[in-house]
Structure 1
């Protein structure tokens, strides 16, 4: 049984669709259909039921699914380790948007200077997606907000983001919370803090652009919870009030990787200074 066929099977099972599975793999739909039929012929079982919305696993497919995931992960892990067996040829980095705005550029510059021949791949998203990609070997390292406290994760480095509640210096702020994403750790922390203060009637505005967010705060449209470094980067320091919220150490940024797949440049990453 070829691991490549199992990888196709897992992709289709995850997407519950042959066409979407093909899209996620970068294959044609006919290619994926052919490979699924090949796997079914090898096993002697049908693995999917065809339904109007796509496909669902048969009982045999459900039994195969967890074993297929494990095999695909192990094969990918082996390929990665062999690829980087003598030197770190590729480093796949994950980052949240706040970290990207604060320190990703100097991080990349240091890596490029130290390892000029190393290929770098970037992936940006929120904490849950970053953790998922790291745990499924789709990332080598990722910056994440807050200590992950996960049995399969090791911390390589940590950074302080100097977080503040910010509001307008020039206008009375509306009872509104402004965040980058709904599932952003910083925005969720601000929501919980606001509720703990007894304020339950606030509105929310989600803006996936820090410069626009800061402009809205300056205009009195609401408050935000941001790193002072982001405010300074976009030149809004003199337009905003800064209020330090106590006990927000859990919002430090951590550079993490899997315990069973520490990059060859792990020691360098542990010593790197960015703040």
Structure 2
């Protein structure tokens, strides 16, 4: 994969072409949800008229159906706008089709004067102290698994149970464009379910139908860590809960609701 390639190519205003780098590990025609989540997050931040004094504090995604690899359209609308907060909706759809992913973001105004910061310290081994962790076997060469570097400090993709994994994008979100801090978080956050998988994928499906990311601080540096735990009820409903970090410490939290069933 060329270093200048990205998860997407920009075709025009609100139009993108998904590349093979977005391909998920389960279906050769569908994307991993991380890249489209980041694409919608960027659309919220760079839409026409977006206020520079606001930052995403929470973004919730509804994954309505698998996101296909191909040409996509992104639209945004402001649902509520106030002095200190606003709610923005963004939708992703195949060209000429119905939405496949919808996001609602709460943006909060950044304080004009600094307030006392109350932040927990970094407690995880930094990514430079752990080696690259192989992805579980995938039947195609190029995809999300080859576009994101993973380094586990606890667990592994092929080990059931809790996991803690540093992740770094190997390609930009959009080809030829700068990688932004929010891109890094949202590309990684949807991996909590896979990082902390508690069941054998050969016997069970455990698919997330949503993703919510809360951020009290946007990340610095190239690395984002997902510290994930999964719980599953006998009724087949689960939750993947993730603490999100950069090398300076925690930055927020992610959560995914899971549909769990035997194959």
What's the TM-score bracket when you normalise by the shorter of the two chains?
under 0.3
Larger Rg: 1
TM-score (norm 2): 0.23
Identify the structure with the greater strand proportion.
2
Identify the structure with the greater helix proportion.
1
